[in-house]
Amino acid sequence: MKSILFISALLATTISFASCNYSNAKPIKNATITKTGENTKIQVALLLDTSNSMDGLIDQAKSRLWNIVNTLTTLKYSGKTPDIEIALYEYGNDGLAQQSNYIRQVTPLTTDLDLISEKLFALKTNGGNEYCGAVIQDATKKLHWGKENSNMKLIYIAGNEAFDQGGVNYKEAISDAIKNDIYVNTIFCGSSLEGINTFWKDGADYGKGKYFNIDSNLSVQYVATPYDDQISKCNVKINTTYIGYGAKGSSKKMNQEAQDKNAQGVSAANYAERAVSKSKAVYKNESWDLVDRVKEDPKAIAKIKKEELPAELQNKSDAELEVIVTKKTKEREAIQKEIGELGKKRQQYIDAEAKKTKSQDDLGNAINTSIVALAKAKGYTVER
């Protein structure tokens, strides 16, 4: 069985762009939507085929995750940074249940970017049946999509088998997505013409999204910069500002470092991209980090039980804890500012190098382009 995959915009490959409807994209009006007061959200669901021979493509996906996150962080709505939520699905894997159409929701829509990285690196391939309509339907109905008109909601699905397989009609599934203002983008792993003939372009057209095709056998090309080493050193320092609390505090802090190692294992460039992501407001961990929790709730220290804190802090008074958290907050903000400045210089260097030679077309660039195009259509601005 042919293998496929996609990851948010995460892989590197040679891409031909076949069709893009974003220039004409108009958000669906829904007069019944009630304002909830929630923050504006950018929500992205990644539907990845994990059938056989997908290992190389998965490796490419791992290399682009933080690059995509960093593109998302450049988007503003009414001058404010939206929350970013990512969901991960796998489909087309024999290890999944037939009665569920070989579909698994790996994570719901979440702001926990380390969790997305963890689950991505844990994906395994296995041959199966690829039902695009079924996985689009599942993501549309079972994920918790925001209700605000300002939200940007995207599905990205990739594969190389016919788009119309399975018992769920892809046109009906995509129609339900569009009714909820969710744009469906398709990525075919193969030639552009074959993707058109097997209905991948048709899926994107119905979904008011973008269709493109990739050569999934190519590897990502990286640009080493003079700033990567400095950014990496800052990343080590920023980790010391996190204070785990609660039942998952210790394990989540360990996972943060594990995802650092995963990124570093891919390339120094990927490690630098992750560090830049960690300097942004969207990288927040209030569910396990006391510093972020206090930012969300200034009275959090008084609400947390002493036994939920690290052993070395359990004998501290609330006043002493406030001093410690304030100190760590200032340290983190200073490091984030330094990473931010280095990150801008790094990107300027990469952009300059790209002008000297023909840059590689890759899925990351394709997804970034489509995200920015739709964002502008919905009234977002891009602030580098």
* Higher pLDDT among residues 57 and 119, named by residue: 119
- pLDDT value, residue 300: 97
Distance separating alpha carbons of residues 30 and 44, to the nearest angstrom: 21
First to last CA, the chain: 42
- pLDDT value, residue 288: 97
Distance separating alpha carbons of residues 65 and 10, to the nearest angstrom: 5
Using left for φ > 0, alpha for ψ between -120 and 50, and beta otherwise, residue 216 falls in alpha
Please count the other Cβ atoms lying within 10 Å of the Cβ belonging to residue 95: 13
Distance separating alpha carbons of residues 360 and 189, to the nearest angstrom: 17
With a cut of 70, say whether residue 24 has pLDDT above it.
no
Q: pLDDT of 317-375, one tens digit each?
A: 999 999 999 999 999 999 999 999 999 999 999 989 888 876 555 667 778 888 999 89
Place of tokens 């940074």: 81
Length of the chain as a residue count: 384
Range from 19-28, 35-44, 254-263, 292-301 carrying the lowest mean pLDDT: 19-28
Q: pLDDT of 243-299, one tens digit each?
A: 999 999 999 999 999 999 999 999 999 999 999 999 999 999 999 999 999 999 999
Distance separating alpha carbons of residues 94 and 129, to the nearest angstrom: 7
Q: pLDDT of 105-117, one tens digit each?
A: 999 999 999 999 9
Reading the block at residue 126, the tokens are 């296995």
**Residue 302 C-beta-side C-alpha neighbours within 13 Å:** 4
The pTM assigned to this predicted structure is 0.87
235 close to 275: Cβ distance less than 8 angstroms = yes
* Higher pLDDT among residues 57 and 91, named by residue: 91
